[in-house]
Amino acid sequence: MHPGHVFLIEEAAKLGDVYVIVATDKNRRFYSGEAPIVPEQQRLEVIKSIKNVKDAKLGRHDNDTLKTVEEIAPDIILLGPDQKFSVEKLQNALKLKGMFNIEVRRLEKYYDKYKLHSSSSIKKKIVEQNKKKV
């Protein structure tokens, strides 16, 4: 969890109730090629504690994102600026499943108030500090 996530949640709250799907460890490895540092249950607990989050749950272990969307039945899906989903492909997949009324948007702006505003910037800083120790 970092300031970029909080910013995304704050922006989503301007659109309505916020439901967050936390990636499973398995899916995190699949999409990023790396195992998560923080385990899924711990990430879920942190997300649930954020003031603008109405509810949060783990994604499905079978990676059926559309089934999860169907269960929540949102009006809008707001993707983060660097989330690895195509807005167009997601919208088309929703339509194929009969979910015509869900709007898919992407938050275009990054939150960069702080230098360590994203997972990649935090990891980069950790690597740099560890190189200095070696």
Q: What is the CATH number of the domain that holds 17?
A: 3.40.50.620
Q: Flag whether pLDDT at 43 surpasses 70.
A: yes
Q: Tell me which of 16-20, 41-45, 65-69, 107-111 is least confident.
A: 107-111
Q: Which residues, 6 or more positions from 18, have their beta carbon under 8 angstroms from its beta carbon?
A: 9, 12, 52, 53, 54
What pTM did the predictor assign?
A: 0.81
> What's the average model confidence in pLDDT over 96-114?
89
Say what the pLDDT of residue 100 is. Answer: 94
Per residue in 59-75, pLDDT tens?
988 888 899 999 999 99
Q: Distance between CA 118 and CA 134 in Å, rounded?
A: 25
Q: What angle do CA 9, 57, 124 make, to 5 degrees?
A: 55
What is the total count of domains within the chain? 1
Highest-pLDDT range among 32-36, 57-61, 103-107, 124-128: 103-107
Percent of the chain with pLDDT over 90: 53
Indicate whether 16 pLDDT > 90.
yes
Average pLDDT of the chain, as a whole number: 88
Q: What is the pLDDT of residue 17?
A: 96
Range of the domain at 82: 3-133
Burial of 54 (0-12, 13-18, 19+ CB in 10 A): exposed
Provide the residue count of the chain.
134
Which of 20-24, 87-91, 130-134 is least confident? 130-134
